[in-house]
Every structure is written in C-alpha cells, then in structure tokens.
Amino acid sequence: MFDAEPLGQAWLQVGELGLAFLLSTLIGLERELRQKSAGLRTYTLVGFASALIVLVSKYGFSNILEINKVVLDPSRIAAQIVSGIGFIGGGVIFVRKDIVRGLTTAATVWLVAAVGMACGAGLPLLALVVFAGHMIVVGLFPILERSLPRSRFAPSRLQVSYQDGKGILRQVLVACNDAGFSVARTQIEQGGQGQDEDIRIVTVILEIRGLKSVSKLAAHLSELDGVTSVTTHDGNYSPE
C-alpha cells in the first residue's frame, strides 16, 4: 500500500504511537482529576504529537540519505517547524483572571503541524494513526471528562444580583454553607438601579468549592426573596 521507503511505518512504530497515546492519556487523566488548567485532552494531544515528531525525525528522511554519507540535513527544517508553531499555539491561549482558555486548541495546532510533517516526510500511515487518535480525543474524551468525579478543590463561580439593604448577602452565604459549599472568595460588583428607582441592585461574585451540584444551589438561591438573578457556569436563573 505504501512505498518501502522511507522506513519506519511498521507495527513497531504504530505501537510506539499507541504507547505514547496511552501514557499521555493517563497523565492527563490525573491532571483532569485535580482540575488543572491543562487537562486530559491537552496532555494527550501534546504527548501523542511529540511521539510522531520524534518518529518523523528518526525515519522521515531515510530516502534522501546515503549510507555513510549525509547529503543534507532536512531534520533542521522539522526542528524549526516545531519551534515556530509554538508561537502560533501560544497566540490562541487566553488567560482571564483564574480561567485559562485555548490550551486544547493550541495543542491541536501543534498536533496538526506534526501530521503535516509526517505527510511531507512520506509517513502517511503514522499521520493517519495520529489523525484517528485526534478524533478520539476531541470526540470521546469530553464525554469521559464529564463522567469524572468532581474534585472538592475545584472552584466554581457564582454571580448573584440582589436588592440592597435587605440582608440578602448573609442569607446567600448561609444557603451556600447549608448546601455543603465553602465560600473561598467574594467580590462585590458595582450596583445599579432596579425597576423601582428607590431599589439599588448589588451584584456579588462568589468563588465556591464543594462536591454538590452548583446548578441546584443556584436554583435555590434564585428563590430567595430579593434575589433578582443568579448566574453559574452551568446556566442562568432569573426569577420572575
């Protein structure tokens, strides 16, 4: 199906890619359980692509090298691609306060560079194996991530808007404690006027930690008298 040259597309190399995929997944799984910014998908993609890049460097240029004589060193270009693509990947990572976004996208950019290198080096079988692995990571791993047990150290953000002067903040904090959540940090946003000009609306952002459902807590808080809206990562609740 493929030409004999270059070498390096036997089951041994496919097995090496599979081992890199497995070990990278296990490392990413541990990071995911600890709720780190770089989690299951990011670690798997980076480790998987790194294995492909090494195999490209090792086997991808055998058809232009002579025995006991190096005609040229094309691996230098491969090395420059690896370095240069890091700048592109870094450009898609955004950090806002404690939230990091774009890590998986950056890892995917790096992986697709590796796939392109394998295709250009004449290693289409390895490129296809890594392409299939990528589709597994982006298609099935999100389902696996959602099924993982939630870490009690993972923070959740809860934004509550309420009518000022009614002691509602104290009720909100008590409700969080009763629901099994600890409040790690509070931040008061600027208030505004409600429909009634005599009523001032205050918004507080809570960083909470706990194992229970944040959505259920938000639904409970939205039923408190004087609370105008509750927003969580899981959804929005706006009482009538």
Whose structure tokens read 């939230």? 99
Rounded to 5 degrees, what are φ and ψ at 162? -150, 165
**What's the confidence (pLDDT) of residue 108?**
80
Provide the pLDDT for residue 31. Answer: 67
Count other Cβ atoms within 10 Å, centred on residue 7: 14
* Confidence band of 4 (pLDDT split at 50, 70, 90): very low
User: Taking the model in full, what pTM does it have?
Assistant: 0.51
Q: What is the pLDDT of residue 82?
A: 73
CA distances (Å), origin 80, targets 58, 84, 107, 131: 16, 6, 17, 22
Set out the domains of the chain in order of their start, with CATH numbers. Answer: 11-147 (no CATH), 155-237 (3.30.70.260)
Asked whether the beta carbons of 117 and 81 are under 8 A apart, the reply is yes
Output the average pLDDT for the chain: 75
The C-alpha atoms of residue 111 and residue 48 are separated, in whole angstroms, by 8
Please name the residue ranges forming H helices in the chain. 11-33, 40-59, 75-90, 103-120, 124-147, 168-178, 214-222
Q: Is the pLDDT of residue 39 over 80?
A: no
**187-221 per-position pLDDT tens digit:** 887 666 555 556 788 888 888 887 777 888 888 88
The DSSP secondary-structure symbol of 69 reads B
66, β-bridge pairs: 69
Helix ranges (H only) for 100-227 are 103-120, 124-147, 168-178, 214-222
Question: What are the residues whose beta carbons fall under 8 Å from the beta carbon of 111, sequence distance 6 or more?
Answer: 45, 46, 48, 49, 52, 130, 134
Strand 200-209 relative to strand 182-193: parallel, antiparallel, unpaired?
A: antiparallel
